[in-house]
Chains A and B, each alone.
Chain A
């Protein structure tokens, strides 16, 4: 197969400002960013609590969250579909086949990633961080925030990974979004569709954008880590 011509067409599409293409890109970006923005605070808090607090059933809770990491995204999509479908408990909100349903799916998918990465970062933190903060007069809450700040690159890595997982997710997005052109078609679902139609130019263009986003986010993380003295 000649890949040169579709690749040339892909870049032509990208730089000509093709509305359908850029709509998919914009949808992917805002839905992923919004999902991570909404899920970050509760998941980072839970990760911190699981790492620092001792309670009965803690081990089981950690195992459960870790198990959610390997949960098939189509099953998550199915669960959300059933909840949001007209006959489901949240059917009256009419969220199915809207960007909000995709965002909800992304939040569920990113949640265990952020929890487990935060848990791991906080568990790996020097125990003197929290103690030093407390000894210097910080409240429990302030000392917890200081601990999170000290492991900020681990937390950033959690956010970047969650974002990466969300923006590249296909199964759940197709199930709850429906891949509707101009409404719920995002980068990965568009790649899947255009490839099956044999329109490789669109697929290559969108794949290129996905890779640029992934690379860009990771470069930003690496630069921040460097500035934090973690070269």
Chain B
């Protein structure tokens, strides 16, 4: 078995005296999808934000591809490898195309390759006809798909999705679920925090339950 992509060790998050969670050891293998379930307030989003380097006030350590580091340090290399998509994704007030190009430009991807990846991501998300629409005029489902496409275009080593189907209508949810199923099929490494039973039941995913401050694997 190959070495895990990411290993978390003794991750603890507390607000003052109140302990939110204490995760012992957790190994994330490349090419797998993990679903993180748990009641509201259990700390799912907080754990995702810690993994994304947005909340650096957590104790414990992590190893990425065998290289140890801490949440407080959170090197830029990790920021390029791990991409987090908010529960309500934010699209910049420019164009959809610019949104998809944003991270690729920051990574110094050459123009030709950038254009290819953007076109591919727009087609993947089924947004070809909407690519010139200002993001403010996209529906909730389209925004979610655009955010997924923007993250996928970066080809991250680990993709973190926070409640990707919440607050979507039936059609938007179905379209987002279809994209998630494709990510699983493509063997991307993904962690999804959600309550959505259809995501939890996706074939081939590993499930974890975060409750009362403990993270336990589900059958």
Contacts and interface: CB of A to CB of B under 8 A. Distances in A.
Nearest to A129: B90
A48 to B, nearest CB: 17
The listed residue with most B CB atoms (<10 A of its CB), out of A128, A137, A142, A150, is: A137
Contact of A134 (B79, B92, B134, B136): B79
A129 B106 contact: no
A137 B84 CA distance: 10
Interface in A129-167: 129, 131-139, 142, 146, 149-150
B86 A137 contact: no
A229 interface: yes
A126 interface: yes
B79 A126 contact: no
B136 A137 contact: no
Interface string B127-154: 0000000101100000000000011001
A137 B54 contact: no
Contact of A137 (B80, B85, B137): B80
The listed residue with most B CB atoms (<10 A of its CB), out of A126, A128, A142, A149, is: A128
A180 B150 CA distance: 60
A137 B53 contact: no
A146 B91 CA distance: 12
A228 B92 contact: no
Contact of A131 (B54, B106, B150): B54
Given A131-B54, A229-B134, A229-B136, A137 B90 contact: no
B60 interface: no
Nearest to A138: B106
Contacts of A228: 93
19 contacts: A128-B86, A128-B88, A128-B90, A129-B90, A129-B92, A131-B90, A132-B90, A133-B102, A135-B83, A135-B84, A136-B103, A136-B150, A137-B107, A139-B76, A142-B106, A146-B92, A150-B92, A228-B93, A229-B134
Given A129-B92, A136-B151, A142-B106, 14 more contacts: A126-B90, A128-B89, A128-B90, A131-B90, A132-B86, A132-B90, A135-B52, A135-B79, A135-B85, A136-B154, A137-B107, A139-B106, A150-B93, A228-B93
Interface of A: 126, 128-129, 131-139, 142, 146, 149-150, 228-229
Q: Give the 7 A-B CB pairs with smallest separation, nearest first.
A: A136-B103, A128-B90, A137-B106, A132-B90, A135-B84, A137-B103, A137-B80
